[in-house]
Amino acid sequence: MQPPTDPLDSLFERWGESTPRVRDSLDREVWRRIANAESRPAPVGWFSTIESAFARPAFAVAFVAACMLLGLFLAEVRLSKLHEQRSVVIEASYLQLIAPSADFAAVQTTTEARR
């Protein structure tokens, strides 16, 4: 009994015939690029390392993004301190409303001791 013919068989037969010949110029170009890459001097010292890092667009974008994140973080730290101070001022003004004749230095000392 003869096995059924595989449709891939004919494709494999044609494959070897239809592969185009590699041009000589392509070979030369590839070897030229390899030689170029090897002959480029490797970065020497920390400044060269930084320079080569900054030359990469991905690094530059990441650096700018990191600067923005740092700016946002510092803004949050400032806001947190501001909210803390403001909370103390509002508490004092509320107590001033409830008891204006209170000695607020004493009240503050008591409140801080309580905390």
Partner 1 sequence: MKRIALVLLAGIACGTLAHYSWFDARRPSPAADLQEQLNWVRATLQLNADQFAQIKNLHEELGPHLISLSSQVQRMRAELAQFENERITSGQIDFLEFARLMKERQAVNRDYDEYSRRLVAATTSVMTPEQRAHYLDIVAPAIQAAERNPYQ
63 binds partner 1 (CB under 8 A): yes
Quick one: tokens of 80?
A: 């947190």
Q: Give the Cα separation of 81 and 75 in Å (integer).
A: 10
Q: Does 48 bind partner 1 (CB under 8 A)?
A: no
Q: Smaller CB distance to partner 1: residue 21 or 40?
A: 40
Q: For residue 81, state whether it binds partner 1 (rule: CB under 8 A).
A: no
Q: Alpha-carbon distance 4 to 1, whole Å?
A: 9
- Closest CB to partner 1 among 35 and 71? 71
Rule CB under 8 A: say whether 46 interacts with partner 1: no
Categorise residue 45: left if φ over 0, alpha if ψ from -120 to 50, beta otherwise: left
* CA-to-CA separations, 35 to 4, 40, 52, in angstroms, rounded: 52, 9, 20
Question: Closest CB to partner 1 among 35 and 77?
Answer: 77
In the complex, the residues that contact partner 1 under the rule CB under 8 A are 50-51, 54-55, 60, 63-64, 66-72, 74-76, 78-79, 82-83, 86-87, 89-91, 93-104, 106-107, 110-111, 114
